[in-house]
């Protein structure tokens, strides 16, 4: 059995409706049924945050889920540019708990990632040695150039600028979302731009069905490359970034 780790997903906060699952356990059971061995996540409430309460509750729920399911998940911290102090506190809190993953962050409040409002978040993550996973939009490129010591995971395969992204040594790519699952030649383009060592299996579950991404990886890559994309690249990446407390694995 191939080990498969999902590098991009979202889990529900308690009491928040509007997703396919209303709590973490059945979603984790669904992953396990598909042969998936672990997942990196933010809460939906965190990634879609529109208020200070969302940041507070979404991050708290992420830590609660991690406490219950640390043998399966690794949480990322959520931020919002409108609430800088609160967001910076949460980055510090995750770091204090030795949880060194931030994101997925989506551009919020119609701001791009290279807007000054985001700058303190990136500066702090760079200083603390935390990985940041960013929804793939064009602000990633100037941020990656401005912060060469910051390690960034670009989420989803964005055709418009993937070639330029692949040139940046501090960028990795997760194949989650529509592009990795459905769009014509998206994985070929990802491979052309990033090679096969900087790609991670990812889904955006429960926004998308994890199974289609397994199928796509199997049909587009050699058996050796599949091992890299399903788990080897990510585990090596986590090790290199001092993230040793994920999925109940020794790696
Ligand atoms: Zn996402």
Residue 245 domain-assigned? no
Domain containing 109 — which CATH number? Answer: 3.20.20.140
Q: Quick: pLDDT tens for 138-186.
A: 999 999 999 999 999 999 988 889 999 999 999 999 999 988 888 999 9
What digits encode the pLDDT tens for the residues 1-60? 799 999 999 999 987 877 899 899 999 999 999 999 999 999 999 999 999 999 999 999
Q: Is residue 251 part of a domain?
A: no
Return the residue matching tokens 């200070």: 52
Cα of 122 vs centre of ligand 1, distance in Å, is: 19
Q: How far is the CA of 174 from the centre of ligand 1 (A)?
A: 10
> What distance in angstroms lies between residue 78's CA and the mean position of ligand 1's atoms?
12
Residue 248 placed within a domain: no
DSSP-derived secondary structure for the chain? ----EEEEEEEPPTT--SSS-SSHHHHHHHHHHTT--EEEEEEHHHHT--SHHHHHHHHHHHHHHHHH-TTTEEE-B---TT-HHHHHHHHHHHHHTT--EEEEE---TT--TTSGGGHHHHHHHHHHT-EEEEES-TTHHHHHHH-TTS-EEEES--TTTHHHHHT-TTEEEE--HHHHHTSTTHHHHHHHHHTTTSEE----BTSS-HHHHHHHHHHHS-HHHHHIIIIIHHHHHHHHTT---STT---
Cα of 82 vs centre of ligand 1, distance in Å, is 20
Residue range of the domain that includes 74:
5-240
Structurally, how many domains does the chain consist of? 1
- Give distance in angstroms: CA of 152 to centre of ligand 1: 15
C-alpha 10 to ligand 1 mean position (Å): 7
Sign of the Cα pseudo-torsion (80, 86, 88, 93, in order): negative
Are 35 and 65 contacting, i.e. CB atoms less than 8 angstroms apart? Answer: no
Residue 131, class by beta-carbon neighbours within 10 Å (0-12 exposed, 13-18 middle, 19+ buried)?
A: buried
Residue 66 lies in a domain: yes
Asked, for residue 99, whether it belongs to a domain, the answer is yes
Q: Confirm whether 156 is domain-assigned.
A: yes
Ligand 1 centroid to residue 210 C-alpha, Å: 13
Which carries the bigger pLDDT value, residue 109 or residue 199?
199
| Percent of the chain clearing pLDDT 70 (strictly above) | 100
> Which pLDDT value is given to residue 15?
77
Q: Is residue 52 in some structural domain?
A: yes
* pLDDT over 80 at 249, yes or no: yes
CA distance 21 to 50: 21
Q: Report the sign of the C-alpha dihedral through residues 183, 29, 27, 41, in that order.
A: negative
pTM as predicted: 0.97
Tell me how far the alpha carbon of residue 138 lies from the centroid of ligand 1, in angstroms: 16
Residue 231 pLDDT exceeds 90: yes
Q: Identify the band that residue 70 occupies on the pLDDT scale cut at 50, 70 and 90.
A: very high
246 found inside a domain: no
Q: What does the mean pLDDT of the chain come to?
A: 95
- pLDDT value, residue 21: 93
At residue 14, the pLDDT reads 86
- How many A from CA of 32 to the centre of ligand 1? 20
């Amino acid at each position: 059995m191939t080990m498969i780790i999902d590098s991009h997903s979202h889990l529900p906060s308690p009491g928040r409706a509007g997703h396919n699952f209303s709590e973490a356990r059945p979603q984790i059971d669904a992953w396990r049924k598909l042969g998936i061995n672990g997942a990196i996540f933010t809460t939906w409430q965190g990634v879609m945050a529109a208020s200070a309460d969302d940041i507070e509750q979404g991050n708290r729920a992420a830590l609660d889920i991690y406490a219950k399911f640390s043998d399966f998940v690794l949480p990322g911290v959520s931020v919002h540019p409108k609430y800088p102090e609160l967001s910076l506190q949460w980055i510090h809190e995750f770091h204090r708990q030795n949880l060194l993953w931030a994101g997925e962050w989506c551009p919020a409040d119609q701001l791009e990632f290279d807007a000054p409002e985001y700058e303190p978040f990136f500066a702090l993550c760079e200083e603390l040695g935390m990985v940041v996973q960013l929804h793939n939009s064009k602000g990633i490129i100037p941020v990656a150039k401005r912060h060469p010591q910051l390690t960034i995971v670009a989420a989803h395969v964005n055709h418009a600028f993937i070639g330029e992204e692949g040139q940046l040594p501090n960028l990795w790519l997760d194949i989650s979302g529509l592009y990795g699952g459905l769009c014509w030649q998206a994985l070929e383009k990802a491979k052309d731009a990033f090679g096969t060592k900087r790609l991670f299996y990812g889904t955006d579950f429960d926004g998308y069905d994890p199974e289609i991404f397994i199928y796509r990886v199997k049909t587009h890559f050699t058996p050796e490359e599949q091992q890299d994309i399903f788990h080897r690249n990510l585990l090596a990446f986590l090790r290199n970034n001092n993230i040793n407390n994920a999925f109940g694995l020794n790696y």
